[in-house]
């Protein structure tokens, strides 16, 4: 392990925008693909909690992509991951979340904390010179950010690009321009982008098209060397050395941070995977993790696999540890109703009827105050649970006094809409999966 305070330098760039929907993921993915074409090793991160954008970015970078957040993961964790990446990569890319200054902490806070130059992405459809005013305002809002320039997205013509470039503040470069081209579009659905696994060859075609435009631009050269400092954390104990944890993974359940799985492995756990969609029995495991995903897109298939329902009910009856997050929680409740009103019977381990909604839902950062210890988490869903079981506790919101998401405990099953970030309290996670750590920690 590197000593605290050691530094490594690597060219880096933060891709940000004035709002969501401007094309940040498209540009970041295209930039990663263009760098790989040149033989560069690329490390990509996403600010804020996210499962879908990192999947797109991983397809472009050819390597796993991890979300980093100054609150959920904390600054030292983020710093150490960037330091480790700087030792392996030729280029580090960080995609921002929402608008540059949205949220607390924001993408701007992240860029400032680690000295990352910022490339702004702006959808210029329907504007020309106004783009310059927007860029100027974003640049003037904070003095502690270094701006590399603008990526003009959805540009209609060479003349359109020239008008945008002429209106930019002095010394602000037009780094790249992307035309309006449906071949470069990344499809969306509720909660975000469609995963690469569902897009097939379409995603690769889109990434190559974006990379074609970026490869001949000045965007790659905008990444400047940044010194990243080592801040190694305490190594968790081998608290799960005698445990095998089964993780649901298929088209219905895929929202699991790679960092969460790495931590379980670091604590000694053996990980194995199963599919609630197609498997008729559980693997031989000591604990189960049912992460989030899109069970509502596969509700009929999940309902039809009654053999898996029986296996999960038997596992639960034996008092084995189980964690069900968001989509996993919907699955272990009594039923799930689609937007068109079709109702499907689910596993029925706890009371509650899940129902999908066209809008509404919840998103945001919360701490899960579990008996095992506080664990930082986030919520992001478009469903509601009706007639749910009496909660063990509610999430504590990051910046609001109202109760957060309900947390239900039945025997050793913990079910909640919250997606837990395991690294915020490894000892609590070990307890949740059935271990008894010899030390206690808690998240605030």
Q: Assess if residue 3 is contained within a domain.
A: no
249 plus 225 within the same structural domain: no
Assign 381 a pLDDT band (cuts: 50, 70, 90). confident
- End-of-domain residue from the set 174, 205, 229: 229
CATH of the domain at 78: 3.40.50.300
84 plus 217 within the same structural domain: yes
Structure tokens that stand for 60 in this block = 């472009």
Q: Assess if residue 443 is contained within a domain.
A: no
Determine what percent of the chain is predicted with pLDDT higher than 90. 80
- Sign of the Cα pseudo-torsion (11, 15, 195, 367, in order): positive
The pLDDT score that the predictor gives to residue 201 is 57
Per residue in 13-70, pLDDT (tens digit) is 999 999 999 999 999 999 999 999 999 999 999 998 888 888 889 988 999 899 999 9
Q: How many domains, the chain? A: 2
Q: Assess if residue 211 is contained within a domain.
A: yes
Q: Assess if residue 238 is contained within a domain.
A: no
- End-of-domain residue from the set 229, 261, 283: 229
Residue 332 and residue 235: Cα distance in Å, rounded?
33
Per residue in 6-21, pLDDT (tens digit) is 999 999 999 999 999 9
- End-of-domain residue from the set 177, 200, 229: 229
Q: Assess if residue 444 is contained within a domain.
A: no
Count Cβ atoms below 10 Å from residue 11 Cβ, excluding itself. Answer: 20
CATH of the domain at 399: 3.40.50.880
The pLDDT score that the predictor gives to residue 183 is 59
| Residue 329 near residue 416 (C-beta atoms within 8 A) | yes
The pLDDT score that the predictor gives to residue 385 is 92
339 plus 310 within the same structural domain: yes
Would residue 379 be called left, alpha or beta, if left means φ above 0 and alpha means ψ between -120 and 50 degrees? beta
The pLDDT score that the predictor gives to residue 4 is 81
The catalytic residues are 326
Per residue in 321-363, pLDDT (tens digit) is 999 999 999 999 999 999 999 999 999 999 999 999 886 566 7
Q: Assess if residue 61 is contained within a domain.
A: yes
Per residue in 197-206, pLDDT (tens digit) is 554 556 778 8
225 plus 155 within the same structural domain: yes
Per residue in 115-157, pLDDT (tens digit) is 999 999 999 999 999 999 999 999 999 999 999 999 999 999 9
Q: What backbone torsions phi and psi does residue 173 show, to the nearest 5 degrees? A: -85, 145
252 plus 221 within the same structural domain: no
210 plus 253 within the same structural domain: no
40 plus 180 within the same structural domain: yes
276 plus 219 within the same structural domain: no
Q: Print the domain residue range for 412.
A: 244-432
190 or 92, higher pLDDT: 92
Per residue in 194-231, pLDDT (tens digit) is 555 554 556 778 888 888 989 889 999 999 999 999 99
248 plus 222 within the same structural domain: no
317 plus 397 within the same structural domain: yes
The Cα-based distances of 72 to 37, 54, 56, 368, 424 in angstroms read 34, 17, 22, 11, 7
193 plus 259 within the same structural domain: no
The pLDDT score that the predictor gives to residue 444 is 46
25 plus 129 within the same structural domain: yes
Give this prediction's pTM. 0.90
Q: Assess if residue 367 is contained within a domain.
A: yes
Q: Assess if residue 30 is contained within a domain.
A: yes
The pLDDT score that the predictor gives to residue 443 is 45
Residue 274 and residue 289: Cα distance in Å, rounded?
10
């Amino acid at each position: 392990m590197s000593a605290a305070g050691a530094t490594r330098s690597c060219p880096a760039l933060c891709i940000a925008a004035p709002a969501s929907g401007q094309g940040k993921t498209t540009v970041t993915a295209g930039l990663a693909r263009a760098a790989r074409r040149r033989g560069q090793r690329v490390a990509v991160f996403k600010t804020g909690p996210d499962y879908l954008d990192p999947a797109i970015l991983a397809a472009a970078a050819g390597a796993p992509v991890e979300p980093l957040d100054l609150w959920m993961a904390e600054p030292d964790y983020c710093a150490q991951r960037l330091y480790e990446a700087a030792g392996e990569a030729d280029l580090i890319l960080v995609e921002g979340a929402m608008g540059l200054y949205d949220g607390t902490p924001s993408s701007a806070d992240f860029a400032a904390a680690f000295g990352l130059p910022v490339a702004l992405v702006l959808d210029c459809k329907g504007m020309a010179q106004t783009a310059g005013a927007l860029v100027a305002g974003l640049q003037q809002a904070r003095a502690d950010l270094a701006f590399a320039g603008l990526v003009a997205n959805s540009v209609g013509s060479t003349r359109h690009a020239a008008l945008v470039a002429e209106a930019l503040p002095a010394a602000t470069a037009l780094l790249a321009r992307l035309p309006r081209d449906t071949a470069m579009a990344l499809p969306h659905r509720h909660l975000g982008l469609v995963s690469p696994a569902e897009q097939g060859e379409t995603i690769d075609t889109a990434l190559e098209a974006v990379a074609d435009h970026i490869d001949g631009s000045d965007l790659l050269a905008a990444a400047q060397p940044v010194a990243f400092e080592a801040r190694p954390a305490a190594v968790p104990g081998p608290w799960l050395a005698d445990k095998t944890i089964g993780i649901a993974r298929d088209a219905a359940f895929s929202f699991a941070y790679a960092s969460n799985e790495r931590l379980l492995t670091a604590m000694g756990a053996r990980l194995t995977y199963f599919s609630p969609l197609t498997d008729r029995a559980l693997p031989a495991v000591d604990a189960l993790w049912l992460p989030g995903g899109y069970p509502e897109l596969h509700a009929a298939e999940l309902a039809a696999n009654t053999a898996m329902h029986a296996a999960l009910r038997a596992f639960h009856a034996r008092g084995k540890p189980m964690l069900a997050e968001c989509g996993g929680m919907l699955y272990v409740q009594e039923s799930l109703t689609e937007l068109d009103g079709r109702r499907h019977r689910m596993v029925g381990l706890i009371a509650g009827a899940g129902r999908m909604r066209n809008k509404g839902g919840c998103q945001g950062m919360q701490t899960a105050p579990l008996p095992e210890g506080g664990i930082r988490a986030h919520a992001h869903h478009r469903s509601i649970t009706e007639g749910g079981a009496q909660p063990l506790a509610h999430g504590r919101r990051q910046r609001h006094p109202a109760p957060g998401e309900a947390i239900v405990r039945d025997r050793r099953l913990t079910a909640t809409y919250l997606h837990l970030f395991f690294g915020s309290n490894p000892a609590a996670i070990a307890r949740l999966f059935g271990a008894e750590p010899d030390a206690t920690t808690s998240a605030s």
